[in-house]
């Protein structure tokens, strides 16, 4: 295939409008990738729920929005739950729009973790690729990923090898990592700030462990992120001394990085297999060491003893001891790792290379 500029249709997550925070890390990934692909000269159609904002104002990006009811996230479903599409759902409308645009595009990239677009992939002429945003949380989705891998695994990419290992693949996985606009993150070298925690406030994120460690150390824990489960947040707050948690809310990147950069360490306490760990890299980009459970994507990202400390999953004692060693981490080394491994430009180059390889016919595949 020639190296002429590609035209791509990017289909956003159906769990919430872009800019709302409900899409979690997918929103940040999509924004970074759109900016990076525009810099590489690609032309993009961005399909998203009504109320969404384009992350880039450029003649190379056209935003298409559609109405509909948000799709329930698989993250909050029982493992054996069936596929559910609400009445007046936005999910099929996103794909009706995307497939109409596909006749003038080289390929479509799906950012939603959903069964419908994976099922569609072998059944339509348009070439659909999937940047898988989560690990294994659903039997239905595990089957969809495995079926697509058997049909043509080139259509799948993952953020980390640990994430990909959750699935039944037929070949080594395509791993593209993630990337960030590093001009938006300022390196801060101070080491005497509070402890921080960032992410959606929901049980799978394990905020209670970080709060417990902060309470043991007699420190304040600043918490950034959308509170998805208010009852869960109240339970955590009631379990630690008053004033331990400072709720900072969901913040745009400019505010988050400014406040997060003042922390002496970020605690990362996932109870599930995180696909990547965007907040880990955002902290590192500000020079903030990360103390994390050695689980999922963060366990692959953090360089133990260089950019933070990894401890056994769910071990609060080990988390506390590692937090006391945060000052031994060189904050410039944290930023250096991000510049080498998680830039916006690097992500865009890796994704474009993946798409171009997948568009090249190979003997023995339907492609």
Mean of pLDDT values over 140-162? 97
Position 32 pLDDT exceeds 50: yes
Q: Where are the domains of the chain?
A: 7-179+343-359, 182-341
3-state secondary structure of 78: coil
User: Global pTM?
Assistant: 0.90
Mean pLDDT, the chain, as a whole number?
A: 94
The tens digit of pLDDT for each residue in 212-259 reads: 999 999 999 999 998 989 999 999 999 999 999 999 998 888 999 999
| C-alpha closest to that of 355 among 19, 12, 44 | 44
Which class for 60: exposed (0-12), middle (13-18), buried (19 or more C-beta within 10 A)? Answer: middle
Which CATH code of 3.40.50.2000, 3.40.50.720, 1.25.60.10, 3.40.50.261 fits the domain covering 182-341? 3.40.50.2000
- Asked whether the domain spanning 182-341 has the same topology as the one spanning 7-179+343-359, the reply is yes
**Which CATH topology does 7-179+343-359 take?**
Rossmann fold (3.40.50)
- Percent above pLDDT 70 for the chain: 98
Whole-number pLDDT of residue 366 = 47
Tell me which H or E stretch contains 109: strand 107-110
Where does the pLDDT of residue 363 fall: very low under 50, low under 70, confident under 90, or very high at 90 and above?
low
Where does the pLDDT of residue 2 fall: very low under 50, low under 70, confident under 90, or very high at 90 and above?
low
The whole-angstrom separation of Cα 161 and Cα 47 is: 28
Name the token pair of 223: 């918490």
Mean of pLDDT values over 340-355? 97
């Amino acid at each position: 295939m020639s190296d002429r500029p590609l035209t791509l249709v990017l289909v956003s997550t159906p769990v919430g409008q872009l800019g709302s925070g409900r899409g979690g890390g997918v929103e940040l990934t999509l924004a970074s990738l759109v900016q990076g692909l525009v810099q590489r000269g690609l032309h993009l159609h961005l399909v998203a729920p009504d109320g969404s904002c384009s992350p880039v104002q450029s003649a190379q990006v056209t935003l298409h929005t559609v109405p509909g009811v948000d799709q329930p996230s698989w993250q909050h479903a029982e493992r054996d739950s069936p596929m559910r599409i609400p009445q007046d759902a936005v999910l099929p409308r996103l794909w009706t729009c995307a497939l109409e645009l596909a006749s003038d595009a080289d390929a479509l990239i799906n950012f939603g973790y959903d069964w419908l677009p994976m099922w569609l992939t072998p059944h339509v002429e348009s070439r659909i690729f999937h940047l898988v945003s989560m690990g294994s949380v659903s039997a239905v989705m595990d089957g969809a990923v495995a079926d697509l891998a058997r049909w043509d695994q080139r259509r799948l990419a993952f953020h980390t090898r640990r994430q990909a290992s959750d699935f039944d693949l037929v070949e080594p996985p395509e791993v593209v990592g993630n990337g960030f606009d590093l001009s938006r993150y300022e390196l801060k070298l101070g080491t005497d700030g509070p402890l921080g925690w960032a992410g959606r406030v929901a049980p799978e994120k394990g905020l209670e462990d970080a709060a417990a460690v902060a309470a043991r150390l007699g420190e304040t824990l600043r918490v950034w992120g959308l509170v998805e489960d208010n009852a869960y947040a109240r339970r955590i707050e009631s379990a630690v001394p008053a004033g331990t948690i400072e709720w900072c809310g969901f913040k745009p990147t400019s505010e988050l990085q400014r406040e997060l950069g003042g922390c002496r360490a970020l605690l990362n306490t996932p109870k599930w297999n995180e696909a990547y760990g965007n907040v880990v890299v955002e902290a590192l980009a500000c020079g903030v060491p990360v103390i994390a459970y050695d689980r999922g994507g963060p366990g692959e990202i953090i360089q133990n003893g260089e950019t933070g400390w990894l401890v056994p999953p769910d071990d609060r004692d080990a988390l506390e001891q590692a937090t006391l060693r945060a000052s031994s981490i060189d904050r410039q080394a944290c930023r250096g790792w991000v510049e080498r491994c998680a830039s916006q430009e690097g992500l865009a180059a890796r994704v474009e290379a993946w798409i171009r390889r997948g568009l090249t016919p190979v003997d023995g595949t339907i492609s």
